Amino acid sequence: MRVVVASDKFKGTLTSAEVAAAVGAGVRRACPDATVVAVPVADGGDGTLAAAVAAGYTLVPHTASGPTGEPVQSGYARLGDTAVVELADVSGLVRLPGGTPAPLTATSYGTGELIAAALDAGCTRVVLGIGGSASTDGGQGLIRGLAGLATTPGDREQAIACSQSPGLVAGVRVVVACDVDNPLTGARGAAAVYGPQKGATREQVVELDRRLSAWADVVAEHTGRDLRDVPGAGAAGGVGFAALALLDAELRPGIDLVLEMVGFQEQLAGADLVITGEGALDEQTLHGKAVAGVAAAADRAGIPVVAVCGVNRLGPEQLGGIGVSAAYALTDLEPDVQRCIAEPRPLLERLGERIVVDHLTMTARQRGIA
């Protein structure tokens, strides 16, 4: 029996690799002869770098500026001439000192520094995961960091950044993992929709949207193109806009990029079952998250898929709609959510056992021998 475990992280509790290890232990306990293949995945946000390293990329450490300017130890992953940069790891919410939001001052500058380091090292393709951003700077910080300009923007720096950026990525292909279709500005823009999640008050949302509009005006003046209303421009506080307008980037669904990066299709060869998962199965799961992407890929290969999670808020029809035949939640075994968070590993092992027993029983029934 060959089982592929391709789970996202259980946010704040276990990494993708840790989920796979626990589930795999349970699988082997129920079926000692089983071959378990761990394929850590992510949707383009936090965990993307780890997924790349697990897939054979080499982590290249690099010190860069965090979202509020403090130096952080981050890096990019490299395989051949491709670099994988995870915005969340350098400019993300998890990098805010003390977890304190900085809605008006947080910047994506460090992400630009990482891209610059990868290009200086000879990379000619950059895969940029942009989930989990702490800033709403329209990607100005990223462009300035890439160009090595001052961290504090002014009109002159903005103009220089716009004029320099095309040359900085000449001959380089930039692919951005983007799972939202928001424009840069307006009622569905980066500030209005995501600003409050980053700590912005109503007044600050108005100010941030004004800044984004002014930045879009500068970019349009220098490029002759106004891309502020393009779907995805509002991703990651406007990083999507800067990537599109100034780096000529291609936007692709995050999970599709990651599955391609980890060679998921090849890992499915000969598999009898795929186990995917994430911390919570909910409405967001249905819209481009890792579980849905893994299930779609496995379904195309004709391999059954089940999911593990901390808590499941989806019904059988919703799960079936994305190709998941069953969901196994920690709360099925332990109703106390806090205990699930504190001690998830033994529960996941038990779920791994249960999944294999259920799968073997169902397979036997289908073959008419049970």
Each domain of the chain, given as residue ranges in start order, spans 2-41+264-366, 48-255
Identify whether the C-beta of residue 70 lies closer than 8 Å to the C-beta of residue 63: no
Q: What is the pLDDT of residues 270-298, one digit of tens each?
A: 999 999 999 999 998 998 789 999 999 99
In this prediction, residue 150 carries a pLDDT of 73
Stated length of the chain: 370
pLDDT in tens, 104-156: 999 999 999 999 999 999 999 999 999 899 999 999 999 999 998 876 766 67
CATH homologous superfamily of 48-255 equals Glycerate kinase, domain 2 (3.90.1510.10)
What is the pairing mode between strands 305-312 and 326-329?
parallel
Q: Return the pLDDT at 209.
A: 98
Instruction: Report the amino acid identity of residue 5.
Output: V
Name the residue type at position 336. D
Q: Check if 2-41+264-366 and 48-255 are the same fold.
A: no
Residue 316's CB: how many other CB atoms inside 10 A? 11
Q: Note whether 188 and 182 are within 8 A (CB).
A: yes
**Fold classified for 2-41+264-366:** Rossmann fold (3.40.50)
Contact 19, 353 (CB under 8 A): no
What pLDDT is attached to residue 20?
Answer: 96
Question: Residue 154's pLDDT is what?
Answer: 67
Q: Please tell me the predicted confidence (pLDDT) of residue 104.
A: 96
Using CA atoms of 239, 243, 244, 246 in order, give the dihedral in degrees to the nearest 10.
120
Distances (CA, A) of 21 to 16, 146, 156, 261, 314: 9, 37, 52, 21, 25
pLDDT-flagged residues of the chain (< 70): 151, 153-155, 369-370
